[in-house]
Structure 1
């Protein structure tokens, strides 16, 4: 029945989903069509909103036709050539506009109308030209004779004047005294006797004018008839032009009305499409809403299931973490004793069979610790709890040291180890320990699966910039090789290339290495063929380091001699107590042992200690409970530094230990030098806070002036010693100021300044202390660096006092 319901729900779900798909497609098509129609309607409206250019052309044609009329009338009244030029220009413009209008039409009837309009305008222009010509000819014929006679008038007058002058000269020679009288008499006689030439011309002109008037009267009726006929013909053409223009305008207006009707029809179609689209969209929305409600209901059920699964996964993860923590604690506790006592025995055992056996024990314990760390690292990587450190380190030194670790293992199998590090930078910034871990895994696998031949570790530069470098690190062997179909498998956890390999390891090494390479944002490549060897290739990015930073290990410093210190140790494991007792025997340290938390609390309440080392997990009171009670009270050891000793790997427990009041946390199995360094730093802090001379620090005034004496005389030696004292004192004060201002770069610079004078004096202890400060300036806290500066000052003061003697 349940299966039947499930099938029905699945069928219904399929139907709903199919309906949604079909409806979505239909709505998409309807929406697209509605969009197209709407877009067309908008385009049509835009076109309709624009001005009708054909109507504008027709108006311009009408304007030029009227302009022709105006210009020809003006010419009739005043025969200036400009009016004729304007008339012709208007005629040309009208013809150009008609041609443009004609090009806009496709219908034959409209093209015929345009041709008719052009013809009528041209014919009317001819009639107007004839009218102008008739007026001009009439005026010229009527006045032509008068013009000739008027032009001859100056000549006739000149001849008459010449005749008078001749007569005057003849009379002048006879009798001068009667000149005026005779002249007067002659003028009178001439006036009465004969008419002058001017009078004759005047009479002729008047006669010609009278004749022209008569001729004009005779031709008047004929001219008026011709003019009347031409004007009527011009008016006919004018009316026809107006009719054609009106026909064209009517056609354009009719086209506009038809266009509006088309837009209305398109709007109706668009409205219908929009209604259909809206209806379908509403249906889709309704079905989607129903589907979503159904989905929300199912999703709630799924979320409940997921929450339950998440809860179970978290409980499983917590159980896994607790299991790993407990397993780590149970394994690391005995390993601490095994490793610790083995190291102590190796210090005192002479070379021989027993020492060889101890070396085997040490190697086996280290291997066991390596396997345990692999499991824990794998767990952390899966939980994304591993973060890479960014510190400068010597790349070549790391590669060489890593290769040297496997020299004995390779010798046992008769393998040849090769290295090639040409062209790589000396110093880079990155996670030295994780890079070492990757290469260790690759080298270990290469030697393990290579029965004969060689193993080669090489490094080269892939790309390089001013600040960054990409390195290619390769581990190549002549071993058994890996088949192509197995190469991806070996990077999976707990997997081996073959079943036979499962006895040779856990299968975590390459899986961890691959995850670490990914954490570096690098690449992991493999090139291998069966029986042809294998090459594991790493492409890793690093930041270049321009400065040389020496890593000065605490075991090599030998600057601090622990003495006169009272230490409380609380641990429920007897062999751990015995191991600490053995370590402290080499120092002047008073050790008080307790076996549980209750005894430790009682001792802390009654005795004064310089430092306390408490196991976190103890019967009775745990180490966390003990330190909380001591810190909460105002007893003798409320401010005493305390170190938590634990075999756990849980980060949460580490944080809890520090939060409860512990100053430091040290994991088992611990390194002897690391423990002594913690004790040195924490006790020095306490002594510095109390402003008393640290009794655990013993000045070693070690120096040698023989080198200076070889270089010069006594005055030279005195001068160098004086320079050493003044410069060192000044640098020590600058170091203290740098601590106050928290300037790490100044610490390195001042330490660098102090080193040359100290080397000249062969002050080995002071040189080591300065080198240590220079190397740790970027890594340690300012409290720890303050302790180093106090040690430098103590050594300097000891040398200064010795130089006085």
Structure 2
């Protein structure tokens, strides 16, 4: 706009000055009018519809060509290289370079304008003969120097502006991060309290529909309470998910190569799908996962999950307006590059918007968006030495592609050796029964479990499985879920009702996300199973069996430090049936005093508390030569960004967990840490 105003005024001013002040031999009123009108049109460009945006670059370069090289060179030639216009030609070159920093575009605009001016001169009537009297070689040197100087000035100016923009962006990020972190910290506690109360309400409500269960309340009322409590839980989980994703977009994604670990594409993607806070079960059923052939990549788990949640959130919001909305996730192993494809059948992204979607703070079509999500995804993929791209056709689809470099065979073999070394001590010697697993999957499961030296039998259906369970001792059952989980649930409940307490791992063959909670089933995996997912499901299911938990945790002492009574009560409820002795502290200073007088096996501490927070408490524990110096410490926080995780590690906290805590991951962490008696690195 400023350029248009200045250009319009300058053309009128110089026409009057040169024609009537300096009495130059040539001044063209109509040429000046065309230039003036072009400048005026530039003032109103921002009022044009958005559909004009793709064509603006063409208009801009046409505008520059006519206003600068064409107009200036016409006046230079028609005034027979007048000294005044020789100076203005140098000025024009310098200004054009400022507006067009790209070298090739600059030369195109300059040559197009000059050649057009020469053509205009040759066709003019009357023809103006040229008789240059200036030193052409010397002037050429000045022109060349102007071009070089303009390039240098433009480059330096562009870098300065980029640096200023970068600093402003960093300041904006820091301010927004601080605000988001503060809001999240204040919101997570009340939301987690509401969720815990809803959990307790559902536990107290009768689960069957017999008349005795509804003696005090009509059946209809009980069902209404259950329905509303479940809906409230879903809403709270969604709110917590929004907080997590919003905070994650401000996370510093700088990850050193030493921090990158081997991750299974199938396992980590499945985990991201499971942990996402869906607005409804209907929304969850829009997702279809095709595991394909699993691959291993170097990455960082938390950043990948946040990346994936951003893509899920964007797609599911767009699919709200699509009746048969579908989000297909495909894992592809390749020879030179591995890929994860996330494709929806939504309205697509217009071609003029598609190139800008990864720019920070750019939003389009998403209500209340920050414009940070896809920029965060791009930073994460770069930190993994990979890349993210997007292709789309309006009205048909949008597909994001995550590309990862193929790891060398030695790295993959080392990862698998370490994996077997980690799980062999726990799983070796166990007897496992496969029940109703399709024959196509049986050989691959046998091959995956062979290095663990476990007993592995196969039953073609659940009836045969019950016969084999009655006749033999098994520690674990892998049961197929197809097409509905009813058979697997029945098998799991029968096993439990016979007091066998054998954990059942459900194996899903559906492209839909497997149901997390099936009565009688300890956990659910998707087939074909990725090795890390299979081993972890088996280990965690065995660990979470009540007899195993009691055997592992009975007699242990846990100190819980949190400034909120409610949070301490939640943890006590999780641990009170496992024979664990629990001590409580409302801050780090109280925790230190308890440790001085009472030996404890584990410290569970909120990392952000008044008086003395978890970080400082851990530092003091690790620094003091005391009997409890090596106590395992589990840190809890409502915001596990990179800065918090780094500070936790430096403070001596062994492991961390995001609040509000969930029962299964919390017990897994506690069980694992109570077996470790070494200080944090």
TM-score by length of 1: 0.41
Greater per-residue helix proportion: 1
